[in-house]
Amino acid sequence: MILMKDIIREGHPTLRERAKDVELPLSAEDKKLAEDLMEYVVNSQNEEMIEKYDLRPGVGIAAPQINVAKRIFAIHFDEDSGEDLSIIAINPKIVSHSVEKAYLASGEGCLSVDRSIPGYVPRYARITVKAFDLEGKEFKLRLKGLPAIAFQHELDHLNGVMFFDHINPDNPFAEIENATPIS
Ligand SMILES: Cc1nc(NNC(=O)[C@H](CC2CCCC2)CN(O)CO)c(F)c(N2CCN3CCOC[C@@H]3C2)n1
Ligand code: NI
């Protein structure tokens, strides 16, 4: 299972690389990698597991964060979070997006960033995405709200982008044009 010691932190070069497409059908190794990523996110939302293994809670994690530069991430919102998304995304793409932007009113954090960085992170409010699942089957989703924000945060990791790259350096809380805050 993935533990905090397996998660690389800002400054590690892999976080700034462009991760490589994954060959389909998935090798057994890549299938295990994807399942381990999902297992981490699910574990990180379970009180006992958090206590027992000192996990930082998360709703997503990308392969580069465990030093594997492959285009795979997992996102999981548990049923009582009120959000409806639990996916393993292989070679994900945003195929279209709204003009309208959105941002988390509380800002963003990252399992690979051991400090709090205040500021609004502007992202697309609504996105249409494509990816492959564990069986190598392509799926398409339309996302909005926190699931859309999470997908963009994880996709950024596959492109060597960190959430704070999007924060306005002059005024981190500057009003973002045509944007809706998500609380
Ligand atoms: C929004 C949130 N971000 C948490 N952390 N950061 C992360 O997930 C990073 C990814 C998120 C940062 C912004 C969008 C994606 C991880 N990242 O770095 C991966 O690249 C949370 F932990 C969290 N929740 C709310 C839901 N809760 C359900 C019950 O269990 C606890 C859980 C806590 N919500
Ligand atoms: Ni992150």
pTM: 0.98
| Residue owning the nearest CA to atom 9 of ligand 1 | 110
CA–CA dist 47, 51 (Å, integer): 6
Q: How far apart are CA 61 and CA 150, in angstroms?
A: 9
Pocket perturbation via mutation, ligand 1, pick of 4, 59, 161 by most ligand atoms within 8 A of CB? 59
Residues with a catalytic annotation lie at 154
pLDDT tens by residue, 1-24 = 999 999 999 999 999 999 999 999
Q: What is the pLDDT of residue 169?
A: 97
Confidence of residue 95 (pLDDT cuts 50, 70, 90): very high
DSSP code of 70? Answer: B
Instruction: Give the H/E segment covering residue 151.
Output: helix 145-158
* E strands present in 32-122: 60-62, 72-76, 86-97, 101-104
Residue 158: φ, ψ to 5°: -75, -15
Tell me which residue has its CA closest to atom 21 in ligand 1: 58
Give me the interface pTM, i.e. the ipTM.
0.98
For 31, the 3-state DSSP assignment is: helix
Q: How far is the CA of 141 from the centre of ligand 2 (A)?
A: 21
